[in-house]
Structure 1
């Protein structure tokens, strides 16, 4: 089983999204994330024979894209979530 190496620019790609994507690969592949010269280097080692090479690369890139979108949505809705939580706790305090 051959290793798949994917590099990302540390200036444009968050480490958190890479870590979340790596976590979601558990059971399918192991992922080691290192940083060299402003690049995140992800080394993927498949743990299943039928899941290798280009297929593993594509799957990991899809997971990273998904995690990037989740981070974006989380950031864009943070204030709204804070308001909802404040209103929820405010209504609980009024009941006492």
Structure 2
């Protein structure tokens, strides 16, 4: 019998967004459960593998890669917000001109 053990990964609340951690945790569904707690200025993520395929360092690396990906998605979203607003405004503006 193989015992799957929990793994803790923690992040500073001053440098890591909760949203990115939640998105990464969501993407882990099927591979591990992730409980996120906040304590003493840290987000503590408890990863509980749900299968034997990802354990220990492999699970940690996979989770960190997902968090990195979500951080990049947030950054790109922030950087393109204005452009997206302009595109939407232009699109809706052109629709009303035809009336």
TM-score by length of structure 2 reads 0.95
Deviation string, structure 1 residues 14-61 (Cα, Å, up to 9, x no partner): 000000000000111000000000000000001111211100000000
Q: How many residues align?
A: 96
Aligned to 1:63: 66
1:6 to 6, 9, 14: 9
Aligned to 1:38: 41
Q: RMSD of the alignment, in Å?
A: 0.5
Gaps of 5+ in 1: none
Aligned to 2:21: 18
Aligned to 1:73: 76
CA distance in structure 1 between the partners assigned to 2:94 and 2:7 by the alignment: 52
Gaps of 5+ in 2: none
CA distance in structure 1 between the partners assigned to 2:54 and 2:10 by the alignment: 20
CA distance in structure 2 between the partners assigned to 1:50 and 1:93 by the alignment: 55
TM-score by length of structure 1 reads 0.98
Corresponding residue SS for 1:90: helix
